[in-house]
Every structure is written in C-alpha cells, then in structure tokens.
C-alpha cells in the first residue's frame, strides 16, 4: 500500500501540467459540444415554427370543409365554464348546421 502511495506522489510531483495537445483537444471537444447544442436549438425552433404553421393551415382547411358542408351558419356566443362553475371566458363562435351534423368554430381575437 505504501509503495503505491509513494508511486502516486511521485507521479503527481513529476507532472508539469497539461500538454498543449491535451488542452487543444479539450477546447475542440467543448467547441463541438457548443455547436451541437446551438444547432439543435435552431432545429427545434424551426420545427416548432413549422408545426404552428401546419396547425394553422389544418384549422383553416377544417373550417373551410365544415362551412362548405353546412346548410346554414349562424353566429353565436359560447361561455366556457369550469367544473366548479367559474367562467373561463366568453367567445364569439360560428355554428354550422347540416342534416345530421352540428359544428362550431371560433376565432381568437384579431384573426
């Protein structure tokens, strides 16, 4: 045990520090990790933007199909109520009525 400890002490005392190559490799690894992190953040942002755009397009297409199939449309007001009876908000909606179907659609303020 003592010889092992002596060997370790000798190694620690003889070490003059890191070499230039070790330092450059460490900097290269850190730079690569930062580039990958930034790149994945940009890709995630682009995917979120694409998903929002596709969701808006789907909603518009769904509304177009529902309104095309409707025999009558009429504006209405809907109030959302929580389980405990508190009002969550009132929305202006459009009701689409057909032979067998009844659809409602709403648009957020400013849309």
CA distance 102 to 80: 18
What string of pLDDT tens digits covers the 111 residues of the chain?
678 777 777 766 665 667 888 889 999 999 999 999 999 999 999 999 999 999 988 888 887 777 776 677 778 888 888 899 888 888 887 777 766 666 666 655 444
**pLDDT of 52:** 93
Q: Are 80 and 53 in contact (CB under 8 A)?
A: no
Tokens at residue 19, please? 């070499």
């Amino acid at each position: 045990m003592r010889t092992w400890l002596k060997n370790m002490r000798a190694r620690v005392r003889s070490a003059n520090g890191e070499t230039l190559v070790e330092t450059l490799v460490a900097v290269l690894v850190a730079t690569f990790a930062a580039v990958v992190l930034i790149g994945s953040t940009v890709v995630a942002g682009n995917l979120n933007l694409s998903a929002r755009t596709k969701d808006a397009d789907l909603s518009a297409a769904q509304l177009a199909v529902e309104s095309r199939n409707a025999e009558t449309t009429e504006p209405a007001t809907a109030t959302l109520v929580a389980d405990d009876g508190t009002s969550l908000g009132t929305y202006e909606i459009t009701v689409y009525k057909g032979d067998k179907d009844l659809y409602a659609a709403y648009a957020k303020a400013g849309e």
